[in-house]
Chain A
Amino acid sequence: MAVTGQILVLFIIIHMIGNSAIYSGGLNAYADRLHSLPLLVWIFRLVMLTMFSLHIVFGIGLYLENRKAKPDEYAIRKDMRATFASKNMVWTGLLTGVFLVYHLLHFTIQIIHPESAALSNSDASGLPDVSGMVVQSFQDAGVSAVYVFAVTALFLHLSHGIQSSFQSTGISSERTLPVIIKTGAITALVLFLGYVSIPVLIYIGLVKG
C-alpha cells in the first residue's frame, strides 16, 4: 500500500512538472518528445498500470478488513487526531481512480471531445496540438468542474496518504514524524495548486495556450 503509493506520488509530481509546460508554451514539444520514445512510454505505462492496480486492490482489501474489525460504532464518537481525509481514503481513492479512466479517455485515448483531439489537429509547426486540446476542453465549465473536483479528491487523499506511507514503511521516527506530517500536507497542497491552476486559469481566460 505504502510503497505503491509512494511510487504513484513520484509519478504525480513528475506529471505536474510536465503539465506546467503549458504555461511556457512548450507542451506540444514536450508531448512530441515523450512520444518519440514509444518503448519507454509503454514500459512506463505498464509499470504505472501495475502500481495503480496493486494500490487499488490493496486499498479495497484494507478497507474491507478494517470495516470488519470495527462492526459497531459508538453512539457518540469524538475524533482526536483522525481527519476527514484519513477516514475517507478509500472514497477519495476510488474517486481518483474513476477520474483517471475519464482523464485517459479524454487526453490520452481522446475519445471524449474528439473535436479538439490532438491526434487530429496540428499546431503551426506540424506537431499534434496538445495545448490546443487542453485549452479548448477547459473552456467548457463542465469539463473544468470535473477536473477541479477530481484534483480536490486527490488532494485529500495525498494530504493523509503521503505522511501515512512514511509511517507504514517505518521511515518516520519520534523526531521526524511531525515534520513528515507537515511536509506531506504541504506537498499535497502544492500539487493541488499546480494541477487545479490549469483548468481554472484556462476557464477564466488567463491562459490561452
Chain B
Amino acid sequence: MNLTLFIWRQKGRDTKGSLEQYEAKDISTEMSFLEMLDEVNEQLIKNNQEPIAFDHDCREGICGMCSQVINGVPHGPQQRTTVCQLHMRHFKDGDSIYIEPWRARAFPVIKDLITDRSSMDSIIQAGGYISVHTGGVPDANAVLISKENADTAMDASECIGCGACVAACPNGSAMLFTAAKITHLASLPQGQIEAARRVCIMTEAMLQNGFGNCSNHYECQAACPKGIRVSFIAKLNREFMKAHLKDSV
C-alpha cells in the first residue's frame, strides 16, 4: 500500500522544527510501523537525503524506547501496543499519517522524533530503590507476600518507562509513571523502609524536572501500552498524604 506521511523534522535541540511530507510506497501490511519507517529511510538515503531519526531498541514491545505520536495518539491507534508492535495492517492504502515526537517541557526534542527522556531517569534515581541486606544471597522465598499485593506490584512493574503517559497528558505530567514506580515498591514489604521518603522525593523530582501536575484527565491510562491504571495515581496520593501525616505527628 501507499501512504502519505507528515513527519516532524528538527535538526537539533535549539532549532525550530516542522512537519515534512513524505510518500511511502509499496508498504507491506506485514511490516511493523518502524519497519515502514526503515523503508522510508532507505529511500531517503538512496536519494542522498538525511534519514528520519527515531528511537528504537528491542522492537519487542518491552524496552520503552520507541516513542512516536501517530495521528495524535502516543504509540498510535492500537490500544496497549508500542510503536514497534504496531503493524501496517491497521492502516489503509492512501492513508495520511502524522508522526510527531513526544511533546512536553520535560522531554526536549534532540532530533526529529527523538526526545531526551532523562528527566524520567531522574525521578527513578531520586527514590526508585530499596534497602537490601549485604553479604550472602538471601533466600528468595524468605519474605512472605500476599497474592493481592504481589499482583498489584507486578501490574505496576509492567511500566516500561516509555513516557507515553507524559506525551498524552494535556499537562505534561509524569504522574502515571511515578505512580507505577511508587505502587510497585510500596506494595511490597521490601519497599516499606523508604516508603514515606520515596513518595516525597519522587514527586519533588517530578516537579524539579519540569513535569506538570495531574488534573485527572486519564489520557495517560488510555495511552499506556502496558495498561498501567490511574488507580495507581490514587495510591500515590494516599502514600503522599500518609507520608506527610507521619511527618507532622
List A residues at the B interface (Cβ < 8 Å).
62, 65-66, 68-83, 86-87, 89, 160, 163-164, 167-174, 177
Contacts and interface: CB of A to CB of B under 8 A. Distances in A.
Contacts of A80: 73, 168, 219, 222-223
Interface string B213-237: 1111111011100000111011111
Contacts of B100: 74-76
B116 to A, nearest CB: 14
Q: Give the interface residue-count category, chain B.
A: 35 or more
Given A69-B211, A73-B103, A75-B98, A81 B238 contact: no
Given A66-B213, A75-B19, A81 B229 contact: no
Nearest to A62: B213
B91 interface: no
Contacts of B19: 75
A66 B103 contact: no
Interface stretch (B37-45, B47-55, B169-177): B169-177
Contacts of A66: 170-173, 212-213, 215
B69 A65 contact: no
A167 B237 contact: yes
A87 B215 CA distance: 9
Contact of B216 (A68, A69, A168, A173): A168
A70 B234 contact: no
Contacts of A170: 234-241
B159 interface: no
A86 B171 CA distance: 11
B90 interface: no
A82 B105 CA distance: 20
Contact of A68 (B103, B105, B223): B105
B104 interface: yes
B217 A87 contact: yes
A72 B103 contact: yes
B189 interface: no
A70 B212 contact: yes
7 contacts: A69-B210, A69-B213, A70-B104, A79-B219, A80-B219, A81-B218, A81-B221
Contact of B71 (A68, A78, A171): A78
A171 B235 CA distance: 9
A86 B230 CA distance: 16
Contact of B231 (A68, A81, A168, A173): A173
B238 to A, nearest CB: 4
B222 A177 contact: no
